[in-house]
Chain A
Amino acid sequence: MNVLRFTTAGSVDDGKSTLIGRLLYDSKSVFIDQLDAVAASSKRRGTELDLSLLTDGLKDEREQGITIDVAYRYFATPRRNFILADTPGHVQYTRNMVTGASTADAALILVDARHGVVEQTRRHSFIAGLLGLKAVIVCVNKMDLVDYAEAAFTKVCADFESVRHAAGLPEVHFVPLSALVGDNVVDPSARMPWYSGPTLLALLETLEPAVPEAVSDFRFPVQTVIRPRTTEHHDFRGYAGRVAGGRVAVGDRVTVWPEELEATVDGIFLGSQALKEAHYGQSVVLTLDRDVNVARGSVLTAGSAPKRDASLRAKLCWLDAKGHRPGVRYEFRAQGGHGQAMIAEVERVLNLETLAYEAGDGQLEANQIAEVVVRCATAPTTETYTDQRVMGGFILVDPVRGTTVAAGMIH
């Protein structure tokens, strides 16, 4: 992996902003003028150099000392590039965590060594599991405040076992650290000789989360059709998209959905360059050996047949401030089709405190997570989310206001 996309979660007091500031600062990813601005700002506030200010963005956030929205940070080491989605952790911003996690390979979950595993830890871990993140790093922060005691660290590791199980996390790592002082973030700590594992940065550099989409059957949702209509390319008809699963080579037989027609790929292009094959993640143009009806929302596949159901069971996270009421219609949007839809049934709603699903009353409010049945006017071409994130995720859009009201993961 050349780039690791990861997300961070933690509540205000876990020291998340300080940790990120420390990661950027110690990995020498901070420019002098940014540092000067932080120093000046710290001075105005009468504090020492406050690294958390490196990640504070908007005016309201600085004034209230909180993070409102997902912020993206970039840094690189000689080994790897990093894209970090920094998300606020408080309850009312579950939607931001879901957003940040949806494009991440891994998550950092912060735990205050003094308090151990708390409700927020469980919630954040649960969301990481729900969004299908393959790896989680539990950062046991503020070790300086517990005298770097091994017992505080091992207690978190032990207590996290039940969370890991409930959240369904395949790969979990633990690092004892102090973001404030800098122990085990980039530089190994001399104050925790009992810990022989990697620092946080070393872990981030070597993590290789599984990417099931890279080895799955071929999936190619079509974004648009390219028809130059020029003398030179008079009959050219290409299908533009980004490979959502597996790979394809010139000469491969594919099936075009929803029509379920067979064709052979006779050209793969990236710009003016002809390719022999394309793999997961590449944006290309494909041409087929015969005229078939392909449009935006069509999906080209090989191997196993995709899911073609109008009625979809899904986990749904309600994102909008305005809640869901039974009978309301939405616009369904997924890689493999869009159209009218409704929530036919709210089967169970997640209790964010106990992390158990309970019977609901058919309504959904902001930041609630539920198991639902969505009924689409026309069947989209999809996949089970746990197999293929790109094909298995969908959003619901309010048809009047145009806002994204919910994110769904298909069972």
Chain B
Amino acid sequence: MNHSSFLDELEAEAIYVIREAYAQFERPSILFSGGKDSIVVSHLARKAFAPAGIPFSLVHVDTGHNFPETIEFRDRYAASLGAQLIVGSVQESIDRGTAQEEQGPLGNRNRIQSVTLLETIEREGLDCLLGGGRRDEEKARAKERFFSHRDAFGQWDPKNQRPELWNLFNGAKQPGEHFRVFPISNWTEMNVWHYIRREGIELPSLYFAAPRQVIWRSNSWLPVSEYITLRPTEVPVEKMVRFRTLGDITITGGIESEAVTLDQIIAEVETLRQTERGNREDDKRSESSMEERKKQGYF
């Protein structure tokens, strides 16, 4: 298989979509999680407008439960792009009383991120968020459009999406509505890794295996942090662990791995028999947990 020219085609498609978002919206922004997919979207955005600078700000929804590496990377990366960084704080939404913390031992801040995200969109007057969502990630995402319409409540209505023909994207909207745009919709996890290697894109160290303090919970290695409460049976151990996706530190499980270089990661991903989000606690709640969250305005 000729990876290189397939990557060229995916890149050309993504650049086209990013330029459409820029041309059709007044205040587009990149939804930046610090994970590899949003880093790839930012890289593509830089490539799409060179030699001009990147014409988007970066929006980060900060749950307050972060890997310190993510925040450090985020600040450095935004500065290197010359992009404005907009941070929406989940803690502030909780303090204002617009978001309520989930209770119970399995409570986390994943779901209420949507509240903060929608508040940030409104506060900043954003009308388009470019995200790193991919259709191969999850079954509700398999039905997502490149240009995904959200109503005034930020809701995704899977039964009433706009048909997307050829490469004519329709960003028309009414006041208060916004769009989510997914330039790398057609990429798979493998494509993303090959592209990162080809382009020499820098990633947070969390993607690479290192000795880390973890506990075994819900079939994956969860990092020990001040934000999780250990159950009596849970004993922290040190393991060579890396993360396949990056999210809130309380729900992002790692896998045991010795992969410390991109080549080793690619070799590992090629043999993995679990989906990428298989270690995400947020997706395990029910058969349709991603779908439910998307309807409420989740990324």
Contacts and interface: CB of A to CB of B under 8 A. Distances in A.
Judge: A and B partners, yes or no: yes
A230 to B, nearest CB: 8
Interface string B102-141: 0000000000000000000000000000000001100110
Interface residues of B, number: 57
B163 A407 contact: yes
A194 interface: no
A97 to B, nearest CB: 10
Given A2-B5, A331-B172, A407-B165, A226 B52 contact: yes
A74 B136 contact: yes
B139 A57 contact: yes
A336 to B, nearest CB: 11
A363 B46 CA distance: 46
Contact of B143 (A69, A98, A229): A69
A99 B165 contact: yes
Interface string A26-37: 000001111001
A271 B20 contact: no
A80 B2 CA distance: 8
B273 interface: yes
A389 B158 CA distance: 27
Contact of B165 (A58, A285, A404): A404
Nearest to A40: B287
A311 interface: no
A296 B23 CA distance: 8
Interface string A364-396: 000000000000000000000000011001110
Given A33-B278, A74-B188, A272-B51, A68 B158 contact: yes
A59 interface: yes
B152 to A, nearest CB: 13
Nearest to A72: B135
A223 interface: yes
Interface string B241-264: 000000000000000000000000
B216 interface: no
Given A70-B143, A98-B165, A228 B53 contact: yes
B23 A78 contact: no
Contact of A390 (B8, B162, B166): B166
A402 B167 contact: no
Given A272-B51, A393-B168, A281 B12 contact: yes
B142 A72 contact: yes
Interface residues of A, number: 74
B76 interface: no
Contact of A223 (B13, B20, B140, B162): B20
Nearest to A58: B158
Considering residues B13, B20, B143, which has the most beta carbons from chain A within 10 angstroms of its beta carbon? B143
Given A228-B51, A283-B11, A58 B163 contact: no
Interface string B167-191: 1101011100100000001101010
Contacts of A57: 139-140, 142-143, 291
B273 A58 contact: no
A296 B291 CA distance: 36
A289 to B, nearest CB: 18
Given A96-B163, A99-B164, A58 B140 contact: yes
A402 B174 contact: yes
Contacts of A350: none
Nearest to B272: A31
Contacts of A81: 1, 6
A334 interface: yes
A58 B297 CA distance: 16
Contacts of B229: none
B95 interface: no
B291 A59 contact: yes
Contacts of B272: 31
A96 B173 CA distance: 21
A224 interface: yes
B274 interface: yes
Interface string A251-295: 000000000000000000111100000000111010000000000
Contacts of A331: 172
A340 B206 CA distance: 51
A319 B177 CA distance: 22
Contacts of A74: 135-136, 186, 188
A224 B19 contact: yes
Contact of B170 (A56, A68, A233, A397): A397
B47 interface: yes
B165 A393 contact: yes
A223 B174 contact: no
Contact of A33 (B13, B136, B275): B275
B168 A223 contact: no
A181 interface: no
B270 to A, nearest CB: 11
B288 interface: yes
Contacts of B275: 31, 33-34
A95 B2 contact: no
Given A102-B166, A270-B47, A333-B170, A223 B1 contact: no
B159 A68 contact: yes
B22 interface: yes
A179 to B, nearest CB: 19
Interface of A: 2-3, 31-34, 37, 41, 56-60, 62, 68-74, 76-81, 83, 95-96, 98-99, 102-103, 223-224, 226-230, 232-233, 236, 238, 240-242, 269-272, 281-283, 285, 296, 319, 331, 333-335, 389-390, 393-395, 397, 399, 401-404, 407
Given A74-B136, A232-B51, 14 more contacts: A32-B274, A58-B288, A59-B288, A68-B158, A69-B159, A71-B142, A72-B135, A73-B136, A99-B165, A242-B12, A402-B173, A404-B164, A407-B163, A407-B165
The 8 closest A-B pairs by CB, nearest first: A402-B172, A228-B52, A271-B47, A283-B15, A283-B12, A99-B163, A102-B165, A57-B139
8 contacts: A31-B272, A57-B139, A57-B143, A76-B1, A226-B49, A283-B19, A397-B170, A402-B170
